[in-house]
């Protein structure tokens, strides 16, 4: 299991340098967030991201996400062109040495919350969701008031996309997912890439839109659509766990033992009532993250995990869910669970040894094979690369 954090690129208010100071962190998950879904990803920009990551002696472990355009999810005529772009982006990702691609198949909205900064008694703030609040918002004029989503579509686009899904039944969405996988999985196989579908968050239909990746039966079905090791899961405890009927450790045991979990998001939630939850601190909430980590470890999972979201603590301001401090605490909690279960010392990373280091700039002499291993060698960092 390799511990990673998500980084939103050079525009992120949390710097790579600060992320690299989290003990035990092995890698970064990022993407070309500035590009529109359906556009092919230029390899040179990916190579630049890799360089920035490796200068911090971290590894570029995966992309989250190459977004799936609405045209693909709706099965519109331009989906062929978008799928071609998708495959070419995946090939570019593979060429820079990154072999994990996370994606989701949620119509219009990705993860959805009704409050991005609910104040808790201890003065921290957390993301929360309440179906009742969403229903109120819907009856008060629609999803434009929904916090957080607005960056992606204009109000007009949003209304148009929602209207386009009006006639769509869940089975139609399954058909479009099957079509997408039939085209992308062979390309993933040819490039040694693992595709990892993220479950729907929350795992039930919202705002009249179908949501299909919600429980064990759905995960089995998506894996069966393309019975290839390249077709796998981004197992998200917080998303699936919002439905108390989902037994998280049991689900992990099932899918990890088949080698089909390629990536995991490990965060906690506090279920407050039917379809109502709060994103709680990693060690406390309705989910047993220790059991989740144990299920991963016991079933041979060796891929990247990340703490996913955190609360805002210690007065930090920033992108909801993606501040530095609470994600760092979550990462340390997961590292502790992992190390206790594996009885292995965590792989030491450059900079944790106490030796003074100056990671940049990268020069020809410290790039050998990859910048990452070059830096490791230059600074006399012992042991194999942590992947």
Which residues are known catalytic residues? 198, 236, 265, 308-309, 322
User: CB-wise, 294 or 309, nearer to ligand DNO?
Assistant: 309
Residue with tokens 């009927």: 245
CB of 145 to ligand DNO, least distance (A): 20
Instruction: Scan residues 284-323 and list those touching ligand DNO (CB under 6 A).
Output: 308-309, 321
Binding mask 220-249 for ligand DNO (x = CB under 6 A): ------------------------------
Cα R_g (the chain), whole angstroms: 20
91 binds ligand DNO (CB under 6 A): no
110 binds ligand DNO (CB under 6 A): yes
CB of 62 to ligand DNO, least distance (A): 11
124 binds ligand DNO (CB under 6 A): no
User: CB-wise, 53 or 100, nearer to ligand DNO?
Assistant: 100
149 binds ligand DNO (CB under 6 A): no
CB of 197 to ligand DNO, least distance (A): 8
Kindly state the number of chain residues that form the binding site for ligand DNO, as judged by CB under 6 A: 12
Segment contacting ligand DNO by CB under 6 A, of 20-28, 102-110, 163-171, 215-223? 102-110
Is the sign of the CA dihedral 247, 252, 253, 259 positive or negative?
positive
User: CB-wise, 14 or 102, nearer to ligand DNO?
Assistant: 102
CA angle 354/61/240 to nearest 5° reads 110
128 binds ligand DNO (CB under 6 A): no
Give CA 313 to chain center in angstroms. Answer: 22
**306 has which bridge partners?**
4, 265
265 binds ligand DNO (CB under 6 A): yes
Is the sign of the CA dihedral 199, 202, 203, 208 positive or negative?
negative
State the distance between the two ends of the chain, measured CA to CA, in whole angstroms: 8
Instruction: Scan residues 327-356 and list those touching ligand DNO (CB under 6 A).
Output: none
**Quick check: helix, strand or coil at residue 320?**
coil
Rounded to whole angstroms, the Cα distance separating 65 from 196 reads: 9
Fill in the DSSP letter of residue 370: B
- The token duo for 141 is 């004029």
User: How many CB atoms are closer than 10 A to CB 153?
Assistant: 16
Contact 240, 203 (CB under 8 A): yes
User: CB-wise, 102 or 219, nearer to ligand DNO?
Assistant: 102
Segment contacting ligand DNO by CB under 6 A, of 96-104, 120-128, 139-147, 351-359? 96-104
125 binds ligand DNO (CB under 6 A): no
104 binds ligand DNO (CB under 6 A): yes
Q: Which of 7, 66, 6, 74 is nearest to 39 (CA)?
A: 66
Contacts (Cβ under 8 Å, ≥6 apart) of 43? 92, 95, 96
Would you tell me which residues interact with ligand DNO (CB under 6 A)? 64-65, 102-104, 110-111, 198, 265, 308-309, 321
């Amino acid at each position: 299991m390799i511990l990673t954090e998500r980084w939103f690129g050079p525009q992120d208010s949390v710097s790579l340098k600060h992320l690299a100071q989290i003990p035990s962190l092995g890698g970064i998950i990022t993407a070309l967030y500035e590009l529109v879904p359906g556009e092919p990803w230029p390899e040179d920009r990916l190579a630049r991201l890799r360089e920035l990551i490796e200068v911090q002696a971290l590894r570029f472990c995966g992309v989250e996400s190459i977004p799936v355009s609405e045209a693909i999810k709706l099965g519109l005529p331009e989906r062929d062109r978008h799928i071609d772009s998708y495959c070419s982006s995946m090939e570019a990702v593979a060429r820079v040495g990154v072999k994990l691609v996370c994606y989701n198949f949620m119509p219009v909205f990705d993860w959805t919350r009704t409050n991005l900064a609910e104040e808790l008694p201890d003065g921290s703030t957390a993301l929360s969701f309440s179906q009742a609040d969403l229903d109120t918002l819907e009856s008060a004029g629609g999803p434009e008031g929904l916090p957080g989503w607005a960056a992606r579509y204009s109000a007009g686009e949003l209304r148009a996309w929602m209207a386009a899904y009006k006639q769509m039944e869940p089975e139609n969405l399954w058909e479009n997912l099957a079509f997408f996988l039939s085209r992308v999985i062979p390309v993933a196989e040819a490039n040694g890439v693992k595709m990892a579908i993220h479950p729907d968050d929350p795992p039930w239909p919202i705002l009249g839109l179908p949501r299909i990746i919600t429980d064990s039966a759905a995960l089995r079905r998506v894996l069966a659509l393309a019975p290839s090791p390249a077709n796998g899961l981004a197992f998200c405890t917080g998303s699936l766990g919002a439905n108390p009927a989902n037994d998280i450790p049991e689900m992990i045991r099932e899918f990890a033992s088949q080698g089909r979990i390629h990536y995991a998001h490990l965060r906690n939630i506090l279920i407050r009532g039917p379809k109502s939850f709060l994103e709680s601190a990693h060690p406390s909430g309705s989910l047993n993250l220790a059991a989740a980590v144990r299920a991963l470890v016991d079933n041979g999972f060796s891929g990247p995990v990340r703490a996913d979201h955190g609360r805002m603590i210690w007065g930090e301001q920033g992108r909801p869910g993606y501040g530095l401090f609470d994600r760092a605490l979550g990462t340390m909690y997961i590292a502790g669970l992992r190390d206790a279960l594996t009885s292995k010392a965590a792989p030491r990373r450059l900079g944790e040894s106490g030796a003074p280091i100056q990671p940049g700039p990268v020069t020809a002499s410290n790039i050998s094979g990859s910048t990452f291993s070059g830096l490791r060698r230059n600074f006399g960092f012992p042991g194999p690369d942590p992947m």
